[in-house]
Structure 1
Amino acid sequence: MTDLTHLATPGTEIAVRVTPKASRNEVKATDEGLRAYVTVVPEGGKANKEVQKLLAKAIGVAKTRLVLVRGETSRDKVFRVEG
Structure 2
Amino acid sequence: MSHFQWSDGDLLLVCHLQPNASRSEFAGLHGDALKIRIQAPPVEGKANTELVKFLAKAFGVGKRDIEIISGELNRHKRVRIAAPAKLPDEALVSPAG
Q: TM-score range by the shorter chain?
A: 0.7 to 0.9
TM norm structure 2: 0.66
The alignment of Structure 1 onto Structure 2 pairs a total of residues equal to 76
Percent identity between matched residues is 33
Is the radius of gyration larger for structure 1 or structure 2?
2
Larger mean CA deviation between 58-67 and 27-36 belongs to 27-36
Paired position in structure 1 for 2:11:
12
* CA–CA separation in structure 2 for the residues paired with 1:36 and 1:30: 9
RMSD: 2.0
Which structure 1 residue ranges, 4+ long, deviate > 3 Å from structure 2? 28-33
Residue ranges of structure 1 left out of the alignment (5+ in a row): 1-6
Question: What is the TM-score with the length of structure 1 in the denominator?
Answer: 0.76
SS of the counterpart of 1:12? strand
**Partners of 2:23 and 2:38 within 8 A in 1:** yes
- Higher RCO, 1 or 2 (CA under 8 Å, sep at least 6)? 1
Query: Counterpart of 2:39 in structure 1: which amino acid?
Result: T
